[in-house]
Amino acid sequence: MDMKEAIRHRRSIGKVKQDPVDKSLIEEILEAGTWAPNHCHTEPWRFWVMTGEGRRLLGQGYAEVAAAEADPTLSEEELSKLKSVQKKKAFRAPVVIAVAVTPSVKPVVPEIEEYAAAHAAVQNMLLTAYALGLGTIWRTGAPTYHPKMREAFSLVGKEELVGFIYIGYPDMEPPKAARVPFAQKTTWVSE
Ligand SMILES: Cc1cc2nc3c(=O)[nH]c(=O)nc-3n(C[C@H](O)[C@H](O)[C@H](O)COP(=O)(O)O)c2cc1C
């Protein structure tokens, strides 16, 4: 697929089919992530591919975050219902890739640049998935950065999740999208 077409027409697809996605396609997506630019070759990323029951890893994370933040007066039954609703969120797509930034232990480059590289990896992955006919959505939300989610993914040190990429075959029309024209965001400087 033409790169310009992918950049222009990729949309966040929140509703996908549960049909399985070939491992070879997931590997192409991961490979694309690793080709993101990164300062001083730190390659500051880690990926978790969750499929099938493996999605319980994320589901458990959502459930533990919700439980930690829940009203302490909830009954056992209410808490259990809350956790079960949260767990289901991880099953919204047949494949979910968690992406974490792994800032170098020695401050080789500023941490902000390690995040930049990890975010660029995510964009590579979204575009590649689109080119492969897959729908994706980059999801975060407050639970992503919660200590209980860190615990679920056994993050250490400065590692942080930068998002969950939900992937599957689209089960919706791409939403309409608009952008502020670049002219309104750009200053041309020529002398
Ligand atoms: C860092 C980041 C986090 C995001 N988190 C969410 C999210 O939690 N839920 C969601 O529905 N969309 C999320 N999105 C997707 C945006 O909502 C989406 O990119 C935006 O609406 C523009 O639509 P488009 O991707 O179709 O161009 C996130 C995007 C980014 C860059």
Distance from residue 75's CA to the centre of ligand 1 (Å): 34
Distance from residue 190's CA to the centre of ligand 1 (Å): 34
pLDDT value of residue 173: 98
Token digits for 43?
A: 């390659």
16, 167 contact by CB (below 8 A): yes
50, 30 contact by CB (below 8 A): no
User: Which domains does the chain show, CATH number per domain?
Assistant: 3-51+90-171 (3.40.109.10)
Q: Which atom of ligand 1 is nearest to the CA of 126?
A: 25
Nearest C-alpha neighbor of 145 from the set 160, 131, 126, 135 = 160
pLDDT value of residue 171: 98
Distance from residue 140's CA to the centre of ligand 1 (Å): 8
pLDDT tens by residue, 106-155: 778 999 999 999 999 999 999 999 999 999 999 999 999 999 999 999 99
pLDDT value of residue 104: 86
Per DSSP, 41 falls in state: G
Q: Estimate the share of the chain in helix, then strand, then coil, as percent rounded to the nearest 5.
A: 50, 15, 35
Distance from residue 167's CA to the centre of ligand 1 (Å): 14
| Ligand 1, CB cutoff 6 Å, lining residues | 11-12, 14, 137-141, 163, 177
pLDDT tens by residue, 81-90: 999 999 999 9
Question: What is the rounded CA–CA span in Å between residue 31 and residue 190?
Answer: 38
Taking the complete model, does pTM exceed 0.95, yes or no? Answer: yes
Alpha-carbon 80 to chain mean position: 26
Q: Looking at ligand 1, which residue's alpha carbon is closest to its atom 5? A: 139
